[in-house]
Each structure stands twice: as structure tokens, then as C-alpha cells.
Amino acid sequence: MKPLLNTAFIVALGLTVGACTIVTDPSSGSSAAGSSEQAGFLNRQQQITTFASVNLERLKTDMAAGQGEYLGSLATLMGIASSDQPAFFAITQQKFPVLFPTDRTTAAELLTALNQELRIDPRFGQRLALN
């Protein structure tokens, strides 16, 4: 009886892995795969926007200091590799006046300015262009 249970488990695992592969494989011509990828992208963007909105003052403090827990979390949400995070932190500190031009800067304005600064930075522009 155990071999049957193991086989069923392996088959179920294979179906799960296969389903994930279809969704995440960009070489797939399937429109369902594209839709899933787009939904995942939008979901990530929504997560970033929500995080920035809820934690705007904490992000402002962290960006001014060029380090911090909330800035690290934002970098992770944005998909910035841990090895690139010190450079990301430095950009946010150096560009702080651009990222927060007024006391009334909104999260959406911050993220727009941050994306623009990252796109023109040679360390991040190429990576962002691939997304």
C-alpha cells in the first residue's frame, strides 16, 4: 500500500510543479501564462504601492538615513537583490530631495520619482528595462 501512496504523492507533486512551470515560463506562448504573469506583476506593483502608502513616513526617515528596515523591505518588494541593496540605499539617500521635494509628497509621487532615478542609474537601469 505504501508504494501507491508514494506514487500518488509524486504524481500530485509533478502536477503542481508542472502547473507552476506553465505559469512562470516566459517562453510559453500560452495566453494564460501571459495573463498570470501580468496579474503577478500588477499584484507586486500593488503591494509596493500599498507598502509605500502605509509606511511613507518610515520610508522617508530610512531614505534620509540611507538605511533601515522599511527601506530594506521596499527594496525586497521591488525585487532588488540583496547584493544591490547598499547601492539602492545610497541612491535613495543621495536623491532624497528629488524623492521628497515637499512635505506633502505622496507615496505615488515617491515611487514615480524613485523609478525614474533607478532607470537613469547604470546599476539599475538595465535590470529595470528587463522587467
pLDDT tens per residue across span 55-88 = 999 999 999 999 999 999 999 999 999 999 999 9
State yes or no: pLDDT of 29 exceeds 60: no
State yes or no: pLDDT of 24 exceeds 90: no
pTM higher than 0.75: no
State yes or no: pLDDT of 20 exceeds 70: no
Q: What is the DSSP letter of 26?
A: T
At 124 the pLDDT is 86
Q: Where are the domains of the chain?
A: 48-131
Question: Rounded distance, CA 71 to CA 52, Å?
Answer: 10
Cα(first)–Cα(last) distance of the chain, in Å?
48
Question: Rounded distance, CA 4 to CA 23, Å?
Answer: 29
At 51 the pLDDT is 96
Q: Compute φ and ψ for 30, nearest 5 degrees.
A: -65, 135
Cell of 74: 521596499
